[in-house]
Amino acid sequence: MLNISVVIPVYNEEGNVKELFYELKDVFSKLVLSKKISNYEIIFINDGSKDNTQNVLESIKKQERKLKVIELRTNFGKAEAYKAGFSICSGDLIFTMDGDLQDNPQNIPDFLEKINKGYDVVIGWKYDRKDPYHKKIPSKIFNFILRKYTKLSLHDFDNGYRCIRKSVLPYLELYEGLYRYIPIFAHSKGFKITEVKVNHRKRKSGKSKYGFSRLFKGFFDLITIRFLFSYNKRPLHFFGGIGTLFFSLGFIFSLYLSYLRLFLNKTIGNRPLLTFSVLLMILGLQLILFGLLGEMIAHISRKEKTYSIRKILK
């Protein structure tokens, strides 16, 4: 039977964490009694909350041994909170959820049903999303672009409600905003991906942490994904190709100017083309050097910790 870990990053969710924990406990207790799972743990990562979230979690911990709490020293972001949680989880399967009570724990058996059919990653689909239109419309556009780009038939790539086999974790790129693309990274490594409809709920307490700027961040993260997939192992092919083009153009212009000076005895020192050709060759050389530096950086692992833990309650 399966051992389950639930990893939940939270920031200023004092009004939600207690109810979420006991909802999860109720669902998992029933699954244990029915022998569908063997054990479970619930891990909250307090990502530098400014409110009373940590005190609420510690008060629950005094009574509940299934709860683990990680307190980060400041707000490092969701990606680092995930990494902190994954570093201590012991489950064969890892659920990720948001801490705002919008993800319904009653859908957990639906995820497990998909996992039992052989899938490695199951993504929640908020088919009846309880968010305002200024969030839903950009999300629909973004998901449409991702479906066309990745050929993955998912409706909600960015949904934080997921179930992941632990064997998938080493292949994920978890830094900055790239945690949103967990299904894409897993798919690129050959893992089986699917989705399941989930009951999305309205936020009861607290405020959403995501504004309009998230759309722009997601766009730039998508460009990063494109670059990582195409040139992660060979950055020189990208920078070197553009650099060679610029250098070649500059060199051709220089040959033309040399022909004018040497064979036609024309003055070239005051021609803008001379400055332009020199700039192109310098820029081309710089881009080639960037590519070589990228080749060296590509060999450096991203395993270093970029978060700092204040305390862990196990």
Q: What is the percent of the chain with per-residue pLDDT over 90, rounded to a whole number?
A: 51
Mean pLDDT on 148-159: 83
* pLDDT per residue as tens digits for the range 171-190: 887 766 677 888 888 988 89
pLDDT at 215 (0 to 100): 57
Mean pLDDT of 261-265: 87
pLDDT of residue 300: 55
Confidence band of 213 (pLDDT split at 50, 70, 90)? low
The least confident of 31-40, 179-188, 232-241 is: 232-241
Q: What is the mean pLDDT of residues 260-269?
A: 87
Average pLDDT over residues 48-66: 96
Hey, where are the domains in the chain?
2-231+304-313, 235-297
Q: Which pLDDT band, with edges at 50, 70 and 90, does 305 fall under?
A: low
Q: Which among 212, 223, 195 is positioned nearest to 115, based on CA atoms?
A: 195
Q: Is the pLDDT score of 261 beyond 70?
A: yes
Q: Read off the pTM.
A: 0.74
pLDDT band at 112, cuts 50/70/90?
Answer: very high
Q: What is the pLDDT of residues 2-27, one digit of tens each?
A: 899 999 999 999 999 999 999 999 99
Lowest mean pLDDT among 12-16, 50-54, 155-159: 155-159
**Between residues 74 and 138, the one the model is more confident about:** 74
The confidence band for 105, taking pLDDT boundaries of 50, 70 and 90, is: very high
Is the pLDDT at 297 greater than 70? The verdict is no
Average pLDDT, the chain: 85
Looking at domain 2-231+304-313, its CATH superfamily turns out to be Spore Coat Polysaccharide Biosynthesis Protein SpsA; Chain A (3.90.550.10)
- The whole-number pLDDT of residue 295 equals 55
Nearest residue to 69 via CA among 49, 50, 79, 77: 49
Looking at residue 298, what is its pLDDT?
53
Most confidently predicted of 33-47, 137-151, 182-196, 227-241: 33-47
